[in-house]
Structure 1
Amino acid sequence: MPPPPDVSGYRLPEAEAARIFETEILPVEFPADVNPPAADHPVAVLVVGQTGAGKTLLAPTILKQIASRQPAHFIADTYKTYHPEYTKLMLTSPNLASPATGYDARKWLAMAAKEAVNRKRNVLLESACRHPDDFCELAEIFREAGYFIWVFVLAVPEPLSRIGILTRFYEKKPEGQSRGLPVRLTPVKVHNDSYAGLLHAAKFLDEHKTSMHAMVVRRGNLIAYGLDSVEVKLERERRRPLNKEEMQTALDDIQRLSTHEDTAEQLTQIRELLKPLIDGSASTDDLPALRSLDSLGNWMES
Protein backbone atom coordinates (compact mmCIF):
# COMPACT_ATOMS: atom_id res chain seq x y z
CA MET A 1 0.00 0.00 0.00
CA PRO A 2 1.50 3.38 -0.99
CA PRO A 3 2.10 5.95 1.76
CA PRO A 4 -0.60 8.57 2.24
CA PRO A 5 -0.10 11.77 0.25
CA ASP A 6 1.68 14.67 1.92
CA VAL A 7 -0.99 17.28 2.59
CA SER A 8 1.08 19.54 4.84
CA GLY A 9 1.18 22.14 2.07
CA TYR A 10 -2.51 22.80 2.63
CA ARG A 11 -1.99 24.00 6.21
CA LEU A 12 -2.88 27.65 6.44
CA PRO A 13 -0.53 30.32 7.81
CA GLU A 14 -1.41 31.23 11.40
CA ALA A 15 -2.59 34.71 10.43
CA GLU A 16 -4.89 33.39 7.69
CA ALA A 17 -6.35 30.70 9.96
CA ALA A 18 -6.98 33.31 12.67
CA ARG A 19 -8.63 35.68 10.17
CA ILE A 20 -11.00 32.96 8.94
CA PHE A 21 -11.92 32.06 12.50
CA GLU A 22 -12.63 35.66 13.48
CA THR A 23 -14.50 36.73 10.35
CA GLU A 24 -16.24 33.55 9.17
CA ILE A 25 -16.53 31.02 11.98
CA LEU A 26 -17.25 33.15 15.05
CA PRO A 27 -20.30 34.90 13.50
CA VAL A 28 -21.81 31.49 12.68
CA GLU A 29 -21.06 29.70 15.93
CA PHE A 30 -21.78 32.72 18.13
CA PRO A 31 -24.35 34.81 16.23
CA ALA A 32 -24.90 38.32 17.53
CA ASP A 33 -28.63 37.78 18.01
CA VAL A 34 -28.07 34.77 20.29
CA ASN A 35 -26.25 35.99 23.35
CA PRO A 36 -27.45 34.17 26.47
CA PRO A 37 -26.07 35.22 29.85
CA ALA A 38 -23.00 33.43 31.13
CA ALA A 39 -23.94 30.13 32.74
CA ASP A 40 -23.28 29.86 36.47
CA HIS A 41 -22.58 26.14 36.09
CA PRO A 42 -21.81 25.58 32.41
CA VAL A 43 -22.36 22.18 30.82
CA ALA A 44 -20.60 20.53 27.88
CA VAL A 45 -22.27 17.55 26.20
CA LEU A 46 -19.98 15.68 23.82
CA VAL A 47 -21.36 13.15 21.32
CA VAL A 48 -18.68 10.85 19.93
CA GLY A 49 -18.85 7.96 17.50
CA GLN A 50 -17.17 6.71 14.37
CA THR A 51 -18.13 8.15 11.01
CA GLY A 52 -21.56 6.83 10.00
CA ALA A 53 -22.53 5.85 13.55
CA GLY A 54 -25.47 8.25 13.79
CA LYS A 55 -24.30 11.25 15.83
CA THR A 56 -26.49 13.62 13.85
CA LEU A 57 -29.56 11.49 14.59
CA LEU A 58 -28.84 11.42 18.34
CA ALA A 59 -28.12 15.14 18.64
CA PRO A 60 -31.77 16.37 18.40
CA THR A 61 -32.75 14.21 21.40
CA ILE A 62 -29.97 15.79 23.43
CA LEU A 63 -30.74 19.29 22.19
CA LYS A 64 -34.34 18.87 23.30
CA GLN A 65 -33.14 18.08 26.82
CA ILE A 66 -30.77 21.04 27.04
CA ALA A 67 -32.59 23.59 24.85
CA SER A 68 -33.33 25.85 27.82
CA ARG A 69 -29.58 26.25 28.32
CA GLN A 70 -29.18 27.72 24.79
CA PRO A 71 -26.06 25.72 23.99
CA ALA A 72 -23.59 26.52 21.27
CA HIS A 73 -23.70 23.53 18.90
CA PHE A 74 -20.40 22.53 17.30
CA ILE A 75 -20.20 19.85 14.58
CA ALA A 76 -16.56 18.93 14.01
CA ASP A 77 -16.99 17.91 10.36
CA THR A 78 -18.36 21.28 9.30
CA TYR A 79 -15.15 23.15 10.10
CA LYS A 80 -13.44 21.71 7.02
CA THR A 81 -15.76 23.72 4.81
CA TYR A 82 -14.15 26.97 5.97
CA HIS A 83 -10.82 25.99 4.42
CA PRO A 84 -10.30 27.94 1.16
CA GLU A 85 -9.32 24.75 -0.72
CA TYR A 86 -12.11 22.48 0.53
CA THR A 87 -14.66 23.05 -2.25
CA LYS A 88 -12.06 22.73 -4.99
CA LEU A 89 -10.71 19.51 -3.49
CA MET A 90 -14.21 18.04 -3.19
CA LEU A 91 -14.63 18.59 -6.93
CA THR A 92 -11.19 17.50 -8.11
CA SER A 93 -9.71 15.16 -5.46
CA PRO A 94 -12.46 14.24 -2.96
CA ASN A 95 -10.28 11.70 -1.16
CA LEU A 96 -7.90 14.54 -0.28
CA ALA A 97 -10.53 16.99 0.92
CA SER A 98 -10.70 15.70 4.49
CA PRO A 99 -7.00 15.04 5.21
CA ALA A 100 -5.91 18.25 3.49
CA THR A 101 -8.23 20.48 5.50
CA GLY A 102 -8.41 18.47 8.72
CA TYR A 103 -5.47 20.11 10.48
CA ASP A 104 -6.97 23.58 10.33
CA ALA A 105 -10.50 22.30 10.97
CA ARG A 106 -9.43 20.63 14.21
CA LYS A 107 -7.58 23.77 15.28
CA TRP A 108 -10.67 25.90 14.62
CA LEU A 109 -12.85 23.53 16.63
CA ALA A 110 -10.52 23.84 19.62
CA MET A 111 -10.59 27.63 19.22
CA ALA A 112 -14.40 27.56 19.21
CA ALA A 113 -14.39 25.46 22.39
CA LYS A 114 -12.09 27.96 24.09
CA GLU A 115 -14.30 30.83 22.95
CA ALA A 116 -17.31 29.07 24.48
CA VAL A 117 -15.40 28.69 27.74
CA ASN A 118 -14.50 32.40 27.71
CA ARG A 119 -18.20 33.22 27.34
CA LYS A 120 -19.28 30.51 29.83
CA ARG A 121 -21.60 29.10 27.18
CA ASN A 122 -23.18 25.68 27.43
CA VAL A 123 -22.04 23.44 24.59
CA LEU A 124 -23.15 20.47 22.51
CA LEU A 125 -20.30 19.09 20.41
CA GLU A 126 -20.32 16.24 17.86
CA SER A 127 -17.03 14.53 16.96
CA ALA A 128 -16.02 11.38 15.06
CA CYS A 129 -12.82 10.75 17.07
CA ARG A 130 -10.66 9.99 14.06
CA HIS A 131 -7.95 11.87 15.94
CA PRO A 132 -8.69 10.81 19.53
CA ASP A 133 -6.04 13.06 21.04
CA ASP A 134 -8.04 16.01 19.73
CA PHE A 135 -11.14 14.71 21.51
CA CYS A 136 -9.14 14.40 24.72
CA GLU A 137 -7.88 17.97 24.28
CA LEU A 138 -11.43 19.25 23.79
CA ALA A 139 -12.66 17.43 26.88
CA GLU A 140 -9.75 18.85 28.88
CA ILE A 141 -10.59 22.38 27.74
CA PHE A 142 -14.01 22.05 29.37
CA ARG A 143 -12.79 20.08 32.39
CA GLU A 144 -10.11 22.62 33.26
CA ALA A 145 -12.72 25.39 33.01
CA GLY A 146 -14.91 23.65 35.59
CA TYR A 147 -17.63 22.50 33.20
CA PHE A 148 -19.95 19.64 34.08
CA ILE A 149 -19.25 17.19 31.27
CA TRP A 150 -21.52 14.55 29.76
CA VAL A 151 -20.19 12.29 27.02
CA PHE A 152 -22.40 10.10 24.85
CA VAL A 153 -20.33 7.32 23.28
CA LEU A 154 -22.09 5.70 20.32
CA ALA A 155 -21.57 1.93 20.40
CA VAL A 156 -22.42 0.98 16.82
CA PRO A 157 -21.16 -2.24 15.19
CA GLU A 158 -18.67 -1.71 12.39
CA PRO A 159 -20.87 -3.00 9.55
CA LEU A 160 -23.76 -0.73 10.55
CA SER A 161 -21.66 2.44 10.44
CA ARG A 162 -20.18 1.30 7.12
CA ILE A 163 -23.75 0.94 5.82
CA GLY A 164 -24.57 4.36 7.29
CA ILE A 165 -21.81 5.99 5.24
CA LEU A 166 -23.01 4.37 2.03
CA THR A 167 -26.70 5.17 2.53
CA ARG A 168 -26.12 8.82 3.38
CA PHE A 169 -24.08 9.17 0.16
CA TYR A 170 -26.10 7.15 -2.33
CA GLU A 171 -29.49 8.09 -0.87
CA LYS A 172 -28.44 11.66 -0.04
CA LYS A 173 -29.64 11.46 3.54
CA PRO A 174 -30.10 14.85 5.24
CA GLU A 175 -27.92 13.79 8.17
CA GLY A 176 -24.98 13.71 5.75
CA GLN A 177 -25.46 17.38 4.87
CA SER A 178 -25.25 19.15 8.23
CA ARG A 179 -24.90 22.92 7.85
CA GLY A 180 -24.25 22.82 4.15
CA LEU A 181 -21.77 19.95 4.10
CA PRO A 182 -21.63 18.49 0.59
CA VAL A 183 -22.78 14.91 0.13
CA ARG A 184 -19.57 12.91 0.34
CA LEU A 185 -18.48 9.28 0.38
CA THR A 186 -16.24 8.91 3.42
CA PRO A 187 -13.24 6.66 2.62
CA VAL A 188 -13.13 3.32 4.44
CA LYS A 189 -9.80 4.27 6.05
CA VAL A 190 -11.35 7.36 7.62
CA HIS A 191 -14.15 5.20 9.03
CA ASN A 192 -11.70 2.62 10.35
CA ASP A 193 -9.50 5.28 11.94
CA SER A 194 -12.47 6.76 13.79
CA TYR A 195 -13.76 3.29 14.76
CA ALA A 196 -10.40 2.54 16.41
CA GLY A 197 -10.08 6.06 17.80
CA LEU A 198 -13.27 5.68 19.78
CA LEU A 199 -11.64 2.99 21.95
CA HIS A 200 -8.86 5.44 22.76
CA ALA A 201 -11.50 7.98 23.78
CA ALA A 202 -13.23 5.36 25.95
CA LYS A 203 -10.00 4.66 27.81
CA PHE A 204 -9.55 8.39 28.37
CA LEU A 205 -13.07 8.64 29.81
CA ASP A 206 -12.39 5.72 32.16
CA GLU A 207 -9.30 7.54 33.42
CA HIS A 208 -11.37 10.68 34.09
CA LYS A 209 -14.60 9.11 35.32
CA THR A 210 -14.74 11.35 38.38
CA SER A 211 -14.96 14.50 36.24
CA MET A 212 -16.77 13.26 33.12
CA HIS A 213 -20.08 11.43 33.11
CA ALA A 214 -20.13 8.99 30.17
CA MET A 215 -23.05 7.05 28.70
CA VAL A 216 -22.61 4.28 26.13
CA VAL A 217 -25.55 4.44 23.74
CA ARG A 218 -26.65 2.27 20.84
CA ARG A 219 -28.69 3.39 17.87
CA GLY A 220 -32.29 3.95 18.83
CA ASN A 221 -31.11 5.88 21.91
CA LEU A 222 -30.64 2.71 23.97
CA ILE A 223 -28.31 3.06 26.95
CA ALA A 224 -25.93 0.29 28.06
CA TYR A 225 -26.17 0.16 31.84
CA GLY A 226 -23.94 -1.48 34.42
CA LEU A 227 -20.81 -0.90 36.45
CA ASP A 228 -18.38 -1.92 33.72
CA SER A 229 -15.92 0.55 32.27
CA VAL A 230 -16.78 2.65 29.22
CA GLU A 231 -14.27 0.65 27.20
CA VAL A 232 -15.81 -2.70 28.18
CA LYS A 233 -19.34 -1.47 27.45
CA LEU A 234 -18.30 -0.08 24.08
CA GLU A 235 -16.66 -3.31 22.97
CA ARG A 236 -19.53 -5.43 24.30
CA GLU A 237 -22.23 -3.40 22.56
CA ARG A 238 -20.33 -3.43 19.29
CA ARG A 239 -20.48 -7.25 19.45
CA ARG A 240 -24.09 -7.54 20.65
CA PRO A 241 -26.19 -9.54 18.14
CA LEU A 242 -28.63 -7.41 16.20
CA ASN A 243 -32.28 -7.56 17.14
CA LYS A 244 -34.86 -8.35 14.45
CA GLU A 245 -35.50 -4.71 13.60
CA GLU A 246 -31.80 -3.87 13.32
CA MET A 247 -31.17 -6.95 11.23
CA GLN A 248 -34.02 -6.21 8.83
CA THR A 249 -32.97 -2.58 8.45
CA ALA A 250 -29.39 -3.60 7.64
CA LEU A 251 -30.48 -6.21 5.09
CA ASP A 252 -32.93 -3.79 3.46
CA ASP A 253 -30.21 -1.14 3.22
CA ILE A 254 -27.81 -3.63 1.64
CA GLN A 255 -30.45 -4.68 -0.87
CA ARG A 256 -31.02 -1.09 -1.98
CA LEU A 257 -27.31 -0.29 -2.07
CA SER A 258 -26.58 -3.35 -4.21
CA THR A 259 -28.26 -1.60 -7.15
CA HIS A 260 -25.18 0.64 -7.33
CA GLU A 261 -22.40 -1.28 -9.11
CA ASP A 262 -19.57 0.55 -7.38
CA THR A 263 -20.72 -0.62 -3.94
CA ALA A 264 -20.05 -4.31 -4.67
CA GLU A 265 -16.65 -4.56 -2.98
CA GLN A 266 -17.73 -2.72 0.16
CA LEU A 267 -20.97 -4.68 0.46
CA THR A 268 -19.05 -7.95 0.27
CA GLN A 269 -16.91 -6.78 3.21
CA ILE A 270 -19.97 -5.58 5.12
CA ARG A 271 -21.80 -8.89 4.69
CA GLU A 272 -18.82 -10.69 6.22
CA LEU A 273 -18.74 -8.27 9.14
CA LEU A 274 -22.46 -8.78 9.69
CA LYS A 275 -22.35 -12.58 9.88
CA PRO A 276 -21.46 -12.97 13.59
CA LEU A 277 -24.12 -10.39 14.47
CA ILE A 278 -27.00 -12.09 12.65
CA ASP A 279 -26.21 -15.82 12.36
CA GLY A 280 -27.84 -16.68 15.69
CA SER A 281 -24.75 -18.34 17.14
CA ALA A 282 -24.29 -15.74 19.87
CA SER A 283 -26.67 -15.57 22.81
CA THR A 284 -27.87 -12.35 24.40
CA ASP A 285 -28.95 -14.05 27.63
CA ASP A 286 -25.86 -12.96 29.56
CA LEU A 287 -25.87 -9.40 28.20
CA PRO A 288 -27.19 -6.57 30.38
CA ALA A 289 -30.57 -5.16 29.43
CA LEU A 290 -30.68 -1.86 27.57
CA ARG A 291 -32.70 1.17 28.69
CA SER A 292 -34.22 3.90 26.58
CA LEU A 293 -32.66 7.31 27.00
CA ASP A 294 -36.17 8.75 27.19
CA SER A 295 -36.93 6.52 30.19
CA LEU A 296 -34.29 8.36 32.20
CA GLY A 297 -36.31 11.56 32.18
CA ASN A 298 -34.05 14.52 32.85
CA TRP A 299 -30.78 12.58 32.73
CA MET A 300 -28.78 15.76 33.20
CA GLU A 301 -30.16 16.09 36.72
CA SER A 302 -29.56 12.42 37.62
Structure 2
Amino acid sequence: MQTFRGPVGAGALGRTLIHEHVFVGSTELDVNHPHPEWDEDRAVALAARQLTELYRLGVRTVVDLTVLGLGRDVARVARVAQQVPVHLVASTGYYTADVLPPFFGTHGPGRLVGGPDPLVEFFVGDIEVGIAGTGVRAGMLKVVTDAPGITDDVARVMTAAAVASRQTGVPITTHSRPDLRNGLDQQAFLRAAGVDLSRVVIGHCGDSEDLPYLRSLMDAGSTIGMDRFGMEHVLPDERRVAVVLELLRLGYADRMVLSHDAATFSRVTPPSWRAAHAPHWRFETIPRRIVPMLLDGGASPEEIERMLVTNPARILVPA
Protein backbone atom coordinates (compact mmCIF):
# COMPACT_ATOMS: atom_id res chain seq x y z
CA MET A 1 0.00 0.00 0.00
CA GLN A 2 1.46 3.35 -1.08
CA THR A 3 1.55 6.29 1.34
CA PHE A 4 3.20 9.71 1.32
CA ARG A 5 6.20 8.16 3.09
CA GLY A 6 6.37 5.07 0.91
CA PRO A 7 4.86 1.57 0.94
CA VAL A 8 3.42 -0.06 4.05
CA GLY A 9 1.84 -3.46 4.61
CA ALA A 10 -1.86 -3.98 5.19
CA GLY A 11 -1.19 -4.76 8.84
CA ALA A 12 0.29 -1.29 9.40
CA LEU A 13 -2.80 0.61 8.26
CA GLY A 14 -4.75 0.22 11.51
CA ARG A 15 -7.85 2.33 12.02
CA THR A 16 -8.40 4.12 8.74
CA LEU A 17 -10.48 7.10 7.63
CA ILE A 18 -10.91 6.26 3.97
CA HIS A 19 -12.58 9.43 2.63
CA GLU A 20 -11.05 12.70 3.81
CA HIS A 21 -9.32 15.82 2.48
CA VAL A 22 -6.37 17.73 3.88
CA PHE A 23 -6.77 20.86 1.75
CA VAL A 24 -9.47 21.61 -0.86
CA GLY A 25 -8.90 24.55 -3.16
CA SER A 26 -9.58 25.94 -6.61
CA THR A 27 -6.29 26.38 -8.41
CA GLU A 28 -7.14 29.35 -10.66
CA LEU A 29 -9.04 31.15 -7.89
CA ASP A 30 -6.27 30.45 -5.40
CA VAL A 31 -3.68 32.02 -7.73
CA ASN A 32 -5.76 34.99 -8.82
CA HIS A 33 -8.08 35.62 -5.88
CA PRO A 34 -6.63 34.05 -2.71
CA HIS A 35 -9.15 33.25 -0.01
CA PRO A 36 -8.89 35.65 2.95
CA GLU A 37 -8.81 32.76 5.44
CA TRP A 38 -5.95 30.94 3.70
CA ASP A 39 -2.35 31.13 4.88
CA GLU A 40 -0.26 28.18 3.73
CA ASP A 41 2.14 28.00 6.65
CA ARG A 42 -0.65 28.28 9.21
CA ALA A 43 -2.75 25.76 7.28
CA VAL A 44 0.10 23.23 7.18
CA ALA A 45 0.72 23.68 10.91
CA LEU A 46 -2.98 23.28 11.71
CA ALA A 47 -3.27 20.14 9.57
CA ALA A 48 -0.23 18.66 11.30
CA ARG A 49 -1.76 19.33 14.73
CA GLN A 50 -5.13 17.84 13.78
CA LEU A 51 -3.63 14.70 12.25
CA THR A 52 -1.27 14.22 15.20
CA GLU A 53 -4.25 14.45 17.55
CA LEU A 54 -6.04 11.91 15.36
CA TYR A 55 -3.16 9.51 15.88
CA ARG A 56 -3.46 10.03 19.64
CA LEU A 57 -7.14 9.04 19.29
CA GLY A 58 -6.18 5.74 17.65
CA VAL A 59 -6.41 6.48 13.93
CA ARG A 60 -3.39 5.32 11.95
CA THR A 61 -4.23 6.04 8.28
CA VAL A 62 -6.06 8.82 6.42
CA VAL A 63 -6.88 8.67 2.70
CA ASP A 64 -6.76 12.14 1.11
CA LEU A 65 -9.24 12.05 -1.77
CA THR A 66 -8.28 15.47 -3.09
CA VAL A 67 -7.79 14.83 -6.80
CA LEU A 68 -7.49 17.02 -9.88
CA GLY A 69 -10.40 19.45 -9.92
CA LEU A 70 -10.19 20.03 -6.16
CA GLY A 71 -6.92 21.95 -6.05
CA ARG A 72 -4.69 18.94 -5.38
CA ASP A 73 -1.16 19.96 -4.34
CA VAL A 74 0.69 16.84 -3.26
CA ALA A 75 3.90 18.75 -2.49
CA ARG A 76 1.97 20.87 0.02
CA VAL A 77 0.39 17.83 1.66
CA ALA A 78 3.84 16.20 1.76
CA ARG A 79 4.90 19.03 4.09
CA VAL A 80 2.17 17.85 6.45
CA ALA A 81 2.98 14.17 6.02
CA GLN A 82 6.58 14.77 7.10
CA GLN A 83 5.35 16.09 10.45
CA VAL A 84 2.68 13.58 11.46
CA PRO A 85 2.67 9.97 12.70
CA VAL A 86 -0.41 8.91 10.70
CA HIS A 87 -0.05 7.36 7.26
CA LEU A 88 -1.43 9.69 4.58
CA VAL A 89 -2.55 8.16 1.27
CA ALA A 90 -2.70 10.22 -1.93
CA SER A 91 -5.32 9.77 -4.65
CA THR A 92 -5.71 10.27 -8.36
CA GLY A 93 -8.71 10.86 -10.56
CA TYR A 94 -10.61 13.90 -11.78
CA TYR A 95 -13.39 15.68 -9.91
CA THR A 96 -15.97 16.87 -12.39
CA ALA A 97 -19.71 16.34 -12.40
CA ASP A 98 -20.18 17.48 -15.99
CA VAL A 99 -17.33 18.75 -18.21
CA LEU A 100 -13.53 18.59 -18.27
CA PRO A 101 -11.25 21.57 -19.01
CA PRO A 102 -10.73 22.42 -22.72
CA PHE A 103 -7.33 20.69 -22.81
CA PHE A 104 -9.05 17.33 -22.74
CA GLY A 105 -11.24 18.30 -25.68
CA THR A 106 -8.23 18.50 -27.98
CA HIS A 107 -6.03 15.73 -26.58
CA GLY A 108 -6.77 12.05 -27.00
CA PRO A 109 -7.63 9.54 -29.71
CA GLY A 110 -9.56 11.10 -32.60
CA ARG A 111 -9.25 14.64 -31.21
CA LEU A 112 -7.54 17.69 -32.70
CA VAL A 113 -4.08 17.14 -31.19
CA GLY A 114 -4.52 13.39 -30.90
CA GLY A 115 -2.33 11.01 -28.94
CA PRO A 116 -3.31 8.61 -26.17
CA ASP A 117 -5.93 9.61 -23.61
CA PRO A 118 -4.11 11.87 -21.15
CA LEU A 119 -6.47 10.85 -18.35
CA VAL A 120 -5.23 7.26 -18.52
CA GLU A 121 -1.63 8.47 -18.66
CA PHE A 122 -2.17 10.79 -15.69
CA PHE A 123 -3.93 8.20 -13.53
CA VAL A 124 -1.55 5.33 -14.26
CA GLY A 125 1.49 7.59 -13.93
CA ASP A 126 0.28 8.91 -10.57
CA ILE A 127 -0.07 5.33 -9.35
CA GLU A 128 3.00 3.70 -10.84
CA VAL A 129 5.54 6.56 -10.94
CA GLY A 130 4.39 9.35 -8.63
CA ILE A 131 2.47 12.62 -8.65
CA ALA A 132 3.93 15.84 -10.07
CA GLY A 133 7.55 14.87 -9.55
CA THR A 134 7.13 14.28 -5.81
CA GLY A 135 7.60 10.51 -5.94
CA VAL A 136 4.37 10.18 -3.91
CA ARG A 137 2.32 7.40 -5.53
CA ALA A 138 -1.47 7.34 -5.44
CA GLY A 139 -3.24 4.55 -3.59
CA MET A 140 -6.84 5.32 -4.56
CA LEU A 141 -8.78 6.42 -7.65
CA LYS A 142 -11.76 8.77 -7.43
CA VAL A 143 -14.63 9.45 -9.84
CA VAL A 144 -17.75 11.60 -9.63
CA THR A 145 -21.33 11.47 -10.81
CA ASP A 146 -23.90 13.97 -9.63
CA ALA A 147 -27.16 15.51 -10.84
CA PRO A 148 -26.04 15.85 -14.50
CA GLY A 149 -25.57 12.08 -14.64
CA ILE A 150 -22.88 10.27 -16.62
CA THR A 151 -22.10 12.97 -19.17
CA ASP A 152 -19.65 12.31 -22.00
CA ASP A 153 -16.75 13.77 -20.01
CA VAL A 154 -17.73 11.99 -16.79
CA ALA A 155 -17.88 8.73 -18.76
CA ARG A 156 -14.40 9.48 -20.07
CA VAL A 157 -13.06 9.95 -16.53
CA MET A 158 -14.77 6.77 -15.33
CA THR A 159 -13.45 4.78 -18.28
CA ALA A 160 -9.90 6.01 -17.63
CA ALA A 161 -10.25 5.15 -13.94
CA ALA A 162 -11.47 1.68 -14.87
CA VAL A 163 -8.45 1.16 -17.14
CA ALA A 164 -6.08 2.36 -14.40
CA SER A 165 -7.73 0.21 -11.76
CA ARG A 166 -7.60 -2.90 -13.91
CA GLN A 167 -3.96 -2.24 -14.80
CA THR A 168 -2.70 -1.41 -11.30
CA GLY A 169 -5.12 -3.07 -8.87
CA VAL A 170 -5.79 0.26 -7.15
CA PRO A 171 -9.42 0.59 -5.93
CA ILE A 172 -11.97 3.18 -7.01
CA THR A 173 -14.09 5.32 -4.75
CA THR A 174 -16.95 7.48 -5.96
CA HIS A 175 -18.73 10.68 -5.15
CA SER A 176 -22.38 9.70 -5.45
CA ARG A 177 -25.79 11.25 -4.88
CA PRO A 178 -27.79 8.71 -2.86
CA ASP A 179 -30.91 10.87 -3.11
CA LEU A 180 -30.74 10.13 -6.85
CA ARG A 181 -29.76 6.48 -6.22
CA ASN A 182 -27.00 7.00 -8.76
CA GLY A 183 -24.63 4.55 -7.10
CA LEU A 184 -26.50 1.96 -9.15
CA ASP A 185 -25.54 3.78 -12.35
CA GLN A 186 -21.94 3.95 -11.19
CA GLN A 187 -21.89 0.23 -10.51
CA ALA A 188 -23.43 -0.59 -13.89
CA PHE A 189 -20.91 1.59 -15.73
CA LEU A 190 -17.86 0.29 -13.86
CA ARG A 191 -18.99 -3.33 -14.14
CA ALA A 192 -19.39 -2.91 -17.90
CA ALA A 193 -15.88 -1.39 -17.97
CA GLY A 194 -14.49 -4.57 -16.43
CA VAL A 195 -14.05 -3.40 -12.83
CA ASP A 196 -14.54 -5.89 -10.02
CA LEU A 197 -17.21 -4.21 -7.86
CA SER A 198 -15.54 -5.52 -4.72
CA ARG A 199 -12.78 -2.98 -5.56
CA VAL A 200 -15.30 -0.10 -5.57
CA VAL A 201 -16.50 2.07 -2.69
CA ILE A 202 -19.74 3.92 -3.42
CA GLY A 203 -19.18 7.15 -1.53
CA HIS A 204 -21.50 9.36 0.50
CA CYS A 205 -23.99 6.59 1.19
CA GLY A 206 -24.19 7.85 4.75
CA ASP A 207 -26.35 10.71 3.43
CA SER A 208 -29.14 8.18 2.84
CA GLU A 209 -31.70 6.40 5.00
CA ASP A 210 -32.93 4.33 2.03
CA LEU A 211 -32.04 0.87 3.32
CA PRO A 212 -33.17 -1.09 0.24
CA TYR A 213 -30.97 1.10 -1.95
CA LEU A 214 -27.94 0.77 0.34
CA ARG A 215 -28.41 -2.98 0.61
CA SER A 216 -28.65 -3.34 -3.17
CA LEU A 217 -25.24 -1.65 -3.57
CA MET A 218 -23.66 -3.98 -1.05
CA ASP A 219 -25.44 -7.06 -2.40
CA ALA A 220 -23.91 -6.26 -5.81
CA GLY A 221 -20.45 -6.51 -4.24
CA SER A 222 -19.40 -2.95 -3.42
CA THR A 223 -18.55 -1.41 -0.09
CA ILE A 224 -20.54 1.68 0.87
CA GLY A 225 -18.96 4.78 2.34
CA MET A 226 -20.73 5.97 5.48
CA ASP A 227 -18.33 8.82 5.11
CA ARG A 228 -19.91 12.15 6.02
CA PHE A 229 -20.19 12.07 9.77
CA GLY A 230 -20.30 15.62 11.04
CA MET A 231 -22.12 16.91 7.95
CA GLU A 232 -25.21 17.52 10.03
CA HIS A 233 -26.43 20.24 7.68
CA VAL A 234 -27.15 17.32 5.31
CA LEU A 235 -28.24 14.63 7.80
CA PRO A 236 -27.86 14.62 11.60
CA ASP A 237 -25.29 12.23 13.00
CA GLU A 238 -27.88 10.46 15.16
CA ARG A 239 -29.74 9.42 12.00
CA ARG A 240 -26.52 8.43 10.25
CA VAL A 241 -25.64 6.24 13.23
CA ALA A 242 -29.11 4.68 13.24
CA VAL A 243 -28.68 3.59 9.60
CA VAL A 244 -25.28 2.02 10.32
CA LEU A 245 -26.70 0.19 13.34
CA GLU A 246 -29.59 -1.21 11.33
CA LEU A 247 -27.27 -2.39 8.56
CA LEU A 248 -25.03 -4.02 11.16
CA ARG A 249 -28.08 -5.80 12.53
CA LEU A 250 -28.82 -7.03 9.00
CA GLY A 251 -25.31 -8.47 8.68
CA TYR A 252 -23.47 -5.90 6.55
CA ALA A 253 -20.48 -5.20 8.81
CA ASP A 254 -18.14 -6.42 6.06
CA ARG A 255 -19.44 -3.93 3.48
CA MET A 256 -19.25 -0.53 5.25
CA VAL A 257 -16.44 1.96 5.89
CA LEU A 258 -16.62 5.07 8.08
CA SER A 259 -15.23 8.54 7.44
CA HIS A 260 -16.11 12.28 7.46
CA ASP A 261 -15.30 13.81 4.03
CA ALA A 262 -13.80 16.56 6.20
CA ALA A 263 -10.90 18.93 5.50
CA THR A 264 -8.55 21.04 7.55
CA PHE A 265 -9.20 23.82 5.01
CA SER A 266 -11.73 23.90 2.18
CA ARG A 267 -12.35 26.87 -0.05
CA VAL A 268 -15.83 25.46 -0.79
CA THR A 269 -16.87 25.57 2.88
CA PRO A 270 -14.19 27.64 4.65
CA PRO A 271 -13.28 27.34 8.34
CA SER A 272 -15.47 30.24 9.52
CA TRP A 273 -18.54 28.69 7.87
CA ARG A 274 -17.81 25.23 9.27
CA ALA A 275 -17.32 26.57 12.78
CA ALA A 276 -20.74 28.22 12.66
CA HIS A 277 -22.75 25.63 10.75
CA ALA A 278 -21.01 22.24 11.01
CA PRO A 279 -18.96 22.19 14.24
CA HIS A 280 -18.70 18.37 14.31
CA TRP A 281 -17.41 18.12 10.73
CA ARG A 282 -13.88 17.31 11.85
CA PHE A 283 -11.44 14.41 11.63
CA GLU A 284 -11.83 13.60 15.31
CA THR A 285 -15.63 13.18 15.28
CA ILE A 286 -15.59 9.42 14.58
CA PRO A 287 -13.20 8.42 17.38
CA ARG A 288 -14.55 10.97 19.88
CA ARG A 289 -18.28 10.93 19.12
CA ILE A 290 -19.46 8.36 16.57
CA VAL A 291 -17.73 5.23 17.88
CA PRO A 292 -19.23 5.76 21.38
CA MET A 293 -22.66 6.34 19.81
CA LEU A 294 -22.35 3.12 17.82
CA LEU A 295 -21.26 1.12 20.85
CA ASP A 296 -24.07 2.59 22.97
CA GLY A 297 -26.49 1.63 20.19
CA GLY A 298 -25.44 -2.01 20.26
CA ALA A 299 -22.55 -2.29 17.80
CA SER A 300 -19.87 -4.68 18.96
CA PRO A 301 -16.19 -3.73 19.25
CA GLU A 302 -15.52 -6.34 16.55
CA GLU A 303 -17.95 -4.62 14.16
CA ILE A 304 -16.29 -1.26 14.82
CA GLU A 305 -12.88 -2.73 14.02
CA ARG A 306 -14.22 -4.36 10.87
CA MET A 307 -15.54 -1.04 9.53
CA LEU A 308 -12.46 0.97 10.54
CA VAL A 309 -9.63 -1.56 10.14
CA THR A 310 -10.46 -4.75 8.25
CA ASN A 311 -12.61 -3.34 5.46
CA PRO A 312 -10.33 -0.38 4.60
CA ALA A 313 -7.28 -2.67 4.51
CA ARG A 314 -9.08 -5.12 2.23
CA ILE A 315 -9.99 -2.30 -0.14
CA LEU A 316 -6.72 -0.39 -0.14
CA VAL A 317 -4.27 -3.24 -0.57
CA PRO A 318 -4.24 -4.11 -4.29
CA ALA A 319 -5.74 -7.47 -5.16
TM > 0.5: no
* Higher helix content, 1 or 2: 1
How high is the TM-score relative to the length of structure 2?
0.31
When Rg is computed on C-alpha atoms for both structures, the one with the higher figure is 1
